[in-house]
Structure 1
Amino acid sequence: MKYLLFTATLFCAIAFKSYAQEAPPNNQTFNFSVQDCINYAYEHQDSIVNAGLDVKSAEYKVKETRGIGLPQISGSATFQDYLKIPTTLLPGEVFGQPAGTFIPVKFGVKYQSSVGATADQILFDGSYLVGLKASKTYKELSVKNLTRNKIQISVSVIKAYYQVLVSNEQLRLTDANIKQLKQQFDETTAQNKQGTVEKIDVDRIAVQYNNLVTTRENTIRSLALNYQVLKFQMGMPIENALSLKDKLEDIKLDDTADLAADTSFYHNRIEYSLSETGIALKKLDLKRQQSQYLPTLKANASYTSSYQNNSFGNLYKMNFPSSYIGLTLNIPIFNGWQRLNQVRQSKIAVLKSQNDLENSKNGLKLEANQANVAYVNGLQSLNNQKRNRELAEEVLRVSKIKYQQGVGSSIEVTQAQTSLDDANDKYIQGLYDALISKVDLDKAYGRIK
């Protein structure tokens, strides 16, 4: 008896230490529902934050592409100091010299400088128009990637949340077993002192009691770890204090008969939508390749101020300006069939993407069917484990009554207790499997947004 009391005291101390959640420095404690956890993850989980930054980057990419169609203006400035002015040889006949002779002449001045500006403006370019559409589609792709990351994080958070709820339920059942086993131990000990039962009966219960205490300690440590896993999935510092608002009874394990009638559910899946966007990008790339056959037209203008003088002090006193405006038309004629083969490659890429989309649709249907089967099996298994657990409780109750009335044995009670412990374990596992299969089912049918 002293050993049992010591064990119980030690286990309580360990349990309290393990189960307690340390409060953060600001003493803030979070009491979250599963949706609160998901919302928190949307703001703090690195993968979602980075996906949000990708969306912002895509917005800048759209603006960058749009800027190609705006006037492109650049300025320039030059300065040269001719340490030696270049010499040019002119025929001697020009100056009345004999034929075959040359007269060295220096053209130019020592100092030269110029300041100018040029501007180009696209008037027509098929590649630019297609590129502008492609940049918007690229932004759409980044938004969908953000949605996919949110769905993945939502699934991970929900599963981690359910794991904590199941661990709490396991702890509750273990506590209930310990309580009734402690009562049974006290009654059996008293009977042993009165000489109505043997010492071995007390020892059998003591073994079961110690095993349950160990199980509880393991459950508490697992529960603390499950809290940390949930915080990690949320992007929350694991040292923060977190308690759960939702209860197991709040979770609805509904019938799924209506899901089988939905044959177009795959349109709700972000993976399918991403594949569709991928096809759109491939088609735009095909249009870009085809636009290479079209001519391009640009307007251009330039203005330059030139300064020349042999004296640096007087260099900028005299200006020689020049300017022009013009059009540049570029007509592709022949490039060795490069454009033709590039178009053919783009067409093949579109066909491959369409094939991938069809394969993705079949894969999503298979995933949904598998999730549906797993969920139905999980529900049936859970209901069966519930009934088994109720039966095990009833068997234990009857065995204890028979034992107390002297028509049963302590071995029968011990076996009934072992059966209840096993039924509890299988019930907990069945509960977890049913909840996880429910999450997978919702994901498979596009219910998690």
Structure 2
Amino acid sequence: MNRNLQLMRQSKIMVFTACDKHNRVAVKLFVNSFFLLCPFFLLGQSMGKDSLLQEVTLKSAVDYAIVHQPQIQQSIIDQQILETTIRSKLADWYPQINFNYNLQHNFIVQTAIIGGNAIKLGVNNTSAGQFTVSQAIFNKDVLLASRTKTDARLQARQLTSNNKIELAADVSKAFYDVLSTEQQIKVSTTNIQRIEQSLKDAFNQYKAGIADKIDYKRATITLNNSKAAKRSNEELLKAKLENLKTLMGYPLSASLNIVYDSLQMEKEIALDTSQEANYTARIEYQLLETQRRLLQYNVQYNKWSYLPTISANGAYNLSYQNNNFAKIYSNNFPNSFAALTLGFPIFQGGKRKAALQAAQLELERNSLDIINLKNSVNSAYTQAMAVYKSNLENFQALKQNLVLAKEVYDVLQLQYKSGIKAYLEVITSETDLRTAEINYYASLYQLMASKIDVQKALGQIVY
């Protein structure tokens, strides 16, 4: 940055030196404008680069998704919409002041017979201005908005939190899925290198007359299968990376540089299996509790419908009347009033009673939702923990298998080169090693994914 500024200052000096006296003012304006706008261009470029991740770890992938995923952004916008709706509803508590204006020309003035005489009721031209003010004293709609605003905001935040939790779990699983496929490609690459070396050894032994051509043909078949498996996984990796980008809200044209530490991951597989499910820690339960309070307010709201609506209001009216349109505003006959209005619906065909019953039934249904959630959380936790324990046992067994497969392959490879073992045994051990490596990494990522499910069931993923 400092070097760029020095070059800009040098350029500025060169420009002034090269220009004649007549053009220096214009050039000075141009250069100064350039210096003023340059930081914004640099800032824009910096922000564009910063929006991409240089290295994608699990944490950075989740953090990026929480900020950039459209669904989360929509949830935040929903919170903002709710805030404006609350302000709109609560505005009815304030005095409502209005002004109305009217200008009217009567082509035929109304006439009435009074005492046997025909008398015109009015003039040819009238104009009126009305200032009105009203203040709600009791209004069930405004009262409901006032009492539910806190829980309504809480519910909006909880919905956003729930979406973040679901997104974090999905991104984590997609991340592990990508890692699993990448590891399979790396295993295939290493496997291909080993087979190519074995193929070379088998061919040399065939040329030397030590072995027949079956050995190197078998090696060729195994090599072709490994290359095909690698190409297949490479295509699958593209789709899985695109899925991860979509979940993260990451630019589709940008690349993801996945970074991870298998040893560190192994250290993080441990989980306290003695924990018990606590459905009150789940965001779903908290949402239902908030919904329950809102439904209780709704029941109260429908009970308020039996009460009258009370408001205070007043008006000041300007009344201009004149038969001569040019002098219409020369005569004013104002009037004003203040009033207390009470509105009481006497009979609505059972509408209020039906609405109250519906609100009470919704509240009862919410209670059943809480019971159902409690049962489902316990079931989900039991299932997630069973899968985790199963994957843990499988991982430990496959880890041991990997060590044994590597030892067997190394021994058979030496024995084959010494002419003790047949090449078929080398191929078999190599296949076992490749399978053991793939299964080991696949089991590791399955174990981490199942750990995510357990933590989610326990309500330990919090945003």
TM-score by length of 2: 0.83
Give, in angstroms, the shift of residue 303 of structure 1: 0.5
Q: In structure 2, the residue corresponding to 1:196 is in which secondary structure?
A: coil
Instruction: Encode CA deviations 1:356-406: one digit per residue, 9 max, x unaligned.
Output: 111111111111111111111111112222222322223323333333333
Equivalent position of 1:238 in the other structure: 252
- Given the superposition, is the C-alpha separation of residues 295 and 433 from structure 1 closer, same or farther in structure 2, using an over 3 Å criterion? same
Name the structure 2 match of 1:66.
90
Q: Deviations over 1:94-130 (max 9, x none)?
A: xxxxxxxxx4332311001100111110123355323
User: 1:60 Cα deviation (Å)?
Assistant: 0.8
Aligned to 2:130: 116
Conserved? CA contact 2:86–2:145, under 8 Å: no
1:159 maps onto 2:155 in alignment = no
1:241-320 alignment, distance < 5 Å: 241-251=255-265, 252-258=267-273, 260-264=274-278, 266-320=279-333
1:195 is displaced (CA, Å) by 1.0
- In 1, Cα distance between equivalents of 2:259 and 2:437: 24
Q: Is the 8 A contact 1:62 1:136 kept in 2?
A: no
**2:79 maps to which of 30, 50, 55:** 55
Residues 277 and 458, structure 2, Cα contact 8 Å, conserved in 1? no
Contact 2:277 2:377 in 1 (8 A): no
1:268-313 alpha-carbon deviations (Å, 9 max, x no partner): 2211111111111110101111222333321111000100000011
| 1:371 corresponding residue in structure 2 | 384
Mapped contact 1:114–1:306 kept (Cα < 8 A): yes
> Which range moves more in the overlay, 61-70 or 417-426?
417-426
- CA–CA distance in structure 1, aligned partners of residues 419 and 407 of structure 2: 18
Residue 242 of structure 1 aligns to a residue whose secondary structure is coil
Aligned: 1:204 with 2:218: yes
- Provide the C-alpha distance between the structure 2 equivalents of 1:220 and 1:362, rounded to a whole number of angstroms: 42
SS in 1 for 2:54: strand
Instruction: Show the counterpart of 2:192.
Output: 178
Measure the CA separation in 1 of the matches of 2:144 and 2:119: 56
What's the secondary structure of 1:306's corresponding residue? strand
Deviation at 1:41, TM superposition (A): 1.5
| SS, match of residue 323 in structure 1 | strand
Aligned to 2:159: 145
- The aligned amino acid for 1:291 is W
Letter in 2 for 1:154: A
Match in the other structure for 2:453: 440
> Retained in 2: the 8 A contact 1:253–1:438?
no
Distance 2:277 2:238 in 1: 42
Q: Does 1:37 align with 2:51?
A: no
Greater alpha carbon shift after TM alignment, 209-218 vs 113-122: 209-218
TM-score, with structure 1 as normaliser: 0.85
TM-superposed deviation, 1:334: 5.6
Q: How does 1:126-137 map to 2 (within 5 A)?
A: 126-137=140-151
Deviation at 1:335, TM superposition (A): 5.0
Range 290-299 or range 64-73, more displaced: 290-299
Q: Deviations over 1:31-50 (max 9, x none)?
A: 22222222222222111111
> How far did residue 59 of structure 1 move?
0.7
State the distance in 2 between where 1:329 and 1:86 align: 34
Structure 2 counterpart of 1:3: none
Three-state SS of the structure 2 residue aligned to 1:32 is coil
Cα distance, 1:317 vs structure 2: 0.9
Q: Hey, what does 2:31 align to over in structure 1? A: none
In the TM superposition, residue 412 of structure 1 has moved relative to its aligned partner by: 2.0
Q: Number of residue pairs matched?
A: 413
Please tell me whether the aligned partners of residues 101 and 128 of structure 2 are also in contact (alpha carbons under 8 angstroms): yes
Letter in 2 for 1:429: A
The CA deviation at 1:90 is: 3.9
Q: Which range moved further: 431-440 or 78-87?
A: 431-440
Q: Residue 193 of structure 1 corresponds to which residue in structure 2?
A: 207
Matched, 1:397 2:410: yes
1:162–1:432 CA contact under 8 A, matched in 2: yes
191 and 151 in structure 1: CA distance in 2 versus 1, 3 angstrom threshold:
same
Question: Are the aligned partners of 1:110 and 1:309 in contact in 2 as well (CA < 8 Å)?
Answer: yes
Do the aligned partners of 1:385 and 1:423 also contact (CA within 8 Å) in 2? Answer: yes
The worse-fitting range, judged by mean Cα deviation, of 211-220 and 333-342 is: 333-342
Distance in 2, Cα, partners of 1:44 & 1:59: 22
SS of equivalent residue, structure 2 residue 224:
helix
Q: Which amino acid in the other structure matches residue 310 of structure 2?
A: L
Q: Give the letter for the 1:417 counterpart.
A: E
Structure 2 unmatched ranges of 5 or more? 1-47
Identity across the alignment (%): 29
Q: Distance in 2 between matches of 1:108 and 1:123?
A: 37
| Superposed displacement of residue 320, structure 1 | 0.7
Q: 1:250 to 1:224 in 2, by over 3 A?
A: farther
- Which amino acid in structure 2 is aligned with residue 147 of structure 1? S
Aligned-pair CA distance for 1:216: 2.1
Name the CA distance, whole Å, in 2 between partners of 1:227 and 1:394. 34
Using the alignment, how far apart are the partners of 1:443 and 1:153 within structure 2?
11
Aligned counterparts of 2:275 and 2:255: Cα–Cα separation in 1 = 44
Letter in structure 2 aligned against 1:376: K
Question: Quick one: distance in 1 between partners of 2:64 and 2:53?
Answer: 14
Partner of residue 108 from structure 2, selected from 78, 84, 91: 84
Q: Tell me whether 403-412 or 320-329 shows the greater mean CA deviation.
A: 403-412
Deviation string, structure 1 residues 208-233 (Cα, Å, up to 9, x no partner): 12221222222233333322222111
Q: Name the SS of the counterpart of 2:189 in structure 1.
A: helix
Residues 1:337 and 1:346: Cα distance change in structure 2 (over 3 Å): same
Please state how far the C-alpha of 1:91 moved relative to its aligned partner. 5.1
Q: Secondary structure at the match of 1:257?
A: coil
Say if 1:254 and 1:423 are closer, same or farther in 2 by CA, change over 3 A: closer
Query: RMSD value over aligned CA atoms?
Result: 2.3
Moved more, 64-73 or 382-391: 382-391
